[in-house]
């Protein structure tokens, strides 16, 4: 006995079964397909439980089911008064001889989800001050050629530079050997992830730079709290919080790319996943028109008041810190985080944006992805992978590559 999510041809008009995104309805008959693969007839019960992503129960139903041998049947639950959001479904069939359960999510008009605006009153001044502080730091760019990592078409360099607070950060530069002006892509990293030359945007006709932000391998000379303490490092002072510096590391990386004589500064993009998705948003926001295209995947660091409700880890790290420091408290934590919240930075983005989302992501849930996406005021589009948790399928890199190449005018193939 198996339960399978209903296929596209049985869905009502306006529903994108491929990504399980429903649009333009408030009432919906949510179907599942039951398949009796045995040679015996069966009878039992089908139970639906539908909840919001905040785990509030929306609907429950239990209905009797009879299935002939080698047959299938479509059954549904009526949902009424739906609002834009992410919904979690559990469907369970049980009988005397068989039992099976499926869990899946669906989204209703995710582009229309709203959230409370908690942008600090001094938000503009905060980031203007950070950029002034960065500009006062001599970058001291240093390129170390690494011939062993070069290819026939591109040279490879380990790049060192000074960022906010005179912190030393490093990255990998891949640059075409043939003289000329080239578009460029900055790749930014996920949390605890180390960027190496083979893990950054790869095309022989671009300048590709992969940044390792402060506190990560290759860039932990001056700041190295360890990943167990990274998220709360100096969170008690919003002027010293580690992500303020990390965002400035990304701005410095763009400064570096703009300093390279073979970079066409009218065609620069940025991409990354998870923490790298947040860094992509932040880079595009804080660098403004210097960024032409941004491709964040499953972005982190967004809409913290809601994030604390819809994700266990690592939101618990911040909550635990607040509880362990009662004078500062969870309220203090949320206040500092509001300054690095990509939801609050999103309106500053002018680049075209392509966002990738995992519909069952428990680490960076779709709600927080769309909290930032929905506040963008620029050209944008997204793709949802309905079965993906916090690891998108390998095929997800293809539309990202295509988007960046189209936006930056890259005609070659990888």
pLDDT at 100: 83
Measured between alpha carbons, how far is residue 155 from residues 170, 177, 207, 210, 212 in Å? 17, 6, 10, 14, 19
- Residue 14, pLDDT > 50, answer no
pLDDT at 413: 46
- Residues 110 and 83 sit within 8 Å (Cβ to Cβ): no
Of 197, 177, 179, the closest CA to residue 187 belongs to 197
377/102: higher pLDDT: 377
Q: b/e per residue, 353-387, with b = 16+ CB within 10 A?
A: bbbbbbbbbebbbbbbbbbbbbbbeeebebebbbe
Pick the CATH number of 123-408 from 3.40.50.1820, 3.30.200.20, 3.40.50.2300, 3.10.130.10: 3.40.50.1820
pLDDT at 17: 53
pLDDT at 68: 85
Of 177, 175, 173, the closest CA to residue 187 belongs to 173
Mean pLDDT across the stretch 218-228?
95
Q: Residue 333 in 3-state DSSP?
A: helix
Mean pLDDT across the stretch 234-245?
98
Q: Residue 121 in 3-state DSSP?
A: coil
Is 78 exposed, middle or buried (CB count within 10 Å of its CB: 0-12, 13-18, 19+)? exposed
The two tokens of residue 18 are 């491929």
- Residue 400, pLDDT > 60, answer yes
CA atoms within 13 A on the CB side of 99: 3
The helix, strand and coil proportions of the chain, stated in percent and rounded to the nearest 5, come to 30, 35, 35
> What does pLDDT average to over the chain?
92
284-339 pLDDT, tens per residue?
Answer: 999 999 999 999 999 999 999 999 999 999 999 999 999 999 999 999 999 999 99
pLDDT at 345: 98
pLDDT at 36: 80
Determine the Cα–Cα distance for residues 370 and 6; give it in Å rounded to an integer.
Answer: 25
Q: How many angstroms from the chain centroid is the CA of residue 302?
A: 9
Ordered by start, the domain boundaries in the chain are: 2-112, 123-408
Confidence of residue 71 (pLDDT cuts 50, 70, 90): confident
Mean pLDDT across the stretch 34-41?
80
Pick the CATH number of 2-112 from 2.60.40.10, 3.60.20.10, 2.30.30.30, 2.40.50.140: 2.60.40.10
Which of the residues are catalytic? 274, 361, 390
- Residue 10, pLDDT > 50, answer no
pTM as predicted: 0.93
* Residue 189 CB contacts under 8 Å (≥ 6 apart), including other chains: 195, 210, 211, 212, 213, 216, 272, 275, 276, 279
185-212 pLDDT, tens per residue?
Answer: 999 999 999 999 999 998 999 999 999 9
Q: 353 forms bridges with which residues in the sheet?
A: 294, 380
241-291 pLDDT, tens per residue?
Answer: 999 999 999 999 999 999 999 999 999 999 999 999 999 999 999 999 999
129-187 pLDDT, tens per residue?
Answer: 999 999 999 999 999 999 999 999 999 999 999 999 999 999 999 999 999 999 999 99
pLDDT at 412: 54
């Amino acid at each position: 006995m198996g339960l399978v999510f209903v296929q596209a041809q049985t869905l009502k008009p306006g529903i994108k079964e491929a990504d399980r995104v429903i649009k333009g309805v408030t009432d919906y008959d949510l179907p599942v397909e039951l398949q009796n693969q045995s040679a015996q007839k069966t009878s039992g019960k089908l139970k639906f439980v539908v909840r919001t992503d905040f785990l509030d129960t929306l609907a429950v139903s239990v209905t009797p089911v009879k299935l002939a041998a080698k047959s299938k049947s479509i059954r549904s639950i009526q949902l009424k008064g739906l609002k834009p959001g992410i919904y979690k479904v559990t469907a369970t069939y049980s009988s005397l001889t068989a039992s099976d359960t499926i869990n899946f999510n669906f989204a209703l008009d995710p582009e229309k989800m709203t959230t409370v605006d908690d942008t600090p009153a001094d938000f503009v001044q905060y980031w203007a001050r950070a950029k002034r502080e960065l500009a006062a730091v001599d970058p001291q760019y240093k390129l170390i050629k690494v011939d062993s990592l070069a290819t026939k078409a591109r040279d490879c360099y380990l790049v060192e530079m000074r960022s906010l607070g005179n912190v030393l950060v490093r990255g990998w530069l891949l640059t075409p050997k043939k003289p000329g002006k080239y578009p460029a892509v900055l790749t930014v990293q996920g949390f605890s992830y180390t960027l190496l030359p083979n893990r950054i945007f790869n095309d022989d006709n671009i300048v590709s730079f992969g940044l390792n932000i402060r506190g990560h391998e290759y860039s932990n000379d001056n700041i190295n709290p360890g990943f167990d303490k990274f998220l709360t490092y100096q969170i008690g002072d919003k002027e010293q919080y580690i992500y303020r510096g990390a965002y400035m590391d990304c701005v410095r990386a763009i400064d570096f790319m703009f300093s390279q004589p073979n970079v066409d500064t009218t065609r620069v993009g940025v991409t990354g996943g998870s923490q790298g998705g947040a860094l992509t948003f932040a880079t595009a926001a804080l660098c403004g028109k210097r960024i032409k295209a941004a491709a964040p995947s499953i972005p982190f660091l967004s809409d913290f008041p809601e994030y604390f409700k819809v994700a266990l880890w690592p939101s618990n790290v911040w909550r635990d810190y607040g509880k362990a420091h009662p004078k500062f408290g969870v309220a203090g934590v949320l206040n500092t985080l509001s300054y690095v919240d990509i939801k609050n930075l999103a309106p500053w983005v002018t680049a075209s944006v392509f966002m990738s989302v995992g519909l069952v992501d428990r680490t960076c849930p779709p709600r927080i992805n769309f909290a930032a996406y929905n506040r963008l005021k620029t050209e944008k589009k997204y793709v949802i992978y309905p079965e993906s948790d916090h690891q998108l399928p390998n095929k997800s890199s293809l539309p990202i590559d295509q988007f960046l190449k189209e936006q930056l005018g890259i005609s070659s193939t990888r």
